[in-house]
Amino acid sequence: MMAERAFGRYFDNPDDLFGWLNSAVFGTAAMDALNRSGVTALLLKGPATAEKLASESGLPQDRLRRLLDFLVAHEVIEGGADGLYAPTSRTQVMLDAQGLFANELISAMASSRLHEGLRDDRIPFEIFFGKPVFEYFAEQPQVAESFGKFMGWMTRRFERFVHTQHRFEPFGTVADIGGSMGDLLLSMLGEYPGTKGILFDLPETVDMARPAIAASPLADRVELVGGSFFEEVPSADLYTLKQILHDWHDDECEKILSNIRRAINPGGRLAVMDHILQDSPAPDEAQGTDVAMMVWDTGRERKLGEFKALFAATGFAIGRVTRNPSGHSVIEALPV
Last residue of a domain, one of 58, 93, 128: 93
Q: Which pLDDT band, with edges at 50, 70 and 90, does 4 fall under?
A: low
Question: Which residues are part of the catalytic machinery?
Answer: 246
Residue 331 lies inside a defined structural domain of this protein: yes
pTM of the model: 0.84
Kindly state the average pLDDT of the residues 131-137. Answer: 92
Q: Which helix (H) or strand (E) holds 204?
A: helix 203-215
Residue 111 lies inside a defined structural domain of this protein: no
Last residue of a domain, one of 63, 93, 123: 93
Residue 307 lies inside a defined structural domain of this protein: yes
pLDDT at 2 over 50: no
* Residue-level pLDDT at 151: 86
Q: Are residues 73 and 183 in the same domain?
A: no
Q: Distance between CA 6 and CA 166 in Å, rounded?
A: 28
Q: What CATH number should be reported for the domain holding residue 47?
A: 1.10.10.10
Q: Are residues 230 and 322 in the same domain?
A: yes
pLDDT at 152 over 90: no
Phi-psi region of 303 (alpha: psi -120 to 50; beta: other; left: phi over 0): beta
Q: What digits encode the pLDDT tens for the residues 90-109?
A: 999 999 999 999 999 999 99
Q: What digits encode the pLDDT tens for the residues 206-254?
A: 999 999 999 999 999 999 999 999 999 999 999 999 999 999 999 999 9
Residue 137 lies inside a defined structural domain of this protein: no
Q: What CATH number should be reported for the domain holding residue 324?
A: 3.40.50.150
Domain that holds residue 15: 2-93
Give the whole-number percent of the chain exceeding pLDDT 70.
99
* Residue-level pLDDT at 154: 87
Q: What digits encode the pLDDT tens for the residues 167-209?
A: 999 999 999 999 999 999 999 999 999 999 999 999 999 999 9
Q: What's the total number of domains in the chain?
A: 2
DSSP structure class, residue 143: H
Please choose, from the candidates 245, 299, 328, the residue with its C-alpha nearest in 3D space to the C-alpha of residue 125: 299
Last residue of a domain, one of 50, 72, 93: 93
Q: Distance between CA 291 and CA 130 in Å, rounded?
A: 20
Q: Is 266 helix (H, G, I), strand (E, B) or coil?
A: coil
Kindly state the average pLDDT of the residues 133-158. Answer: 89
Q: What are phi and psi of 149, to 5 degrees?
A: -65, -35
Residue 217 lies inside a defined structural domain of this protein: yes
Q: What digits encode the pLDDT tens for the residues 251-309?
A: 999 999 999 999 999 999 999 999 999 999 988 889 999 999 999 999 999 999 999 99
Residue 218 lies inside a defined structural domain of this protein: yes
Distances (CA, A) of 278 to 156, 207, 301, 328: 24, 37, 10, 13
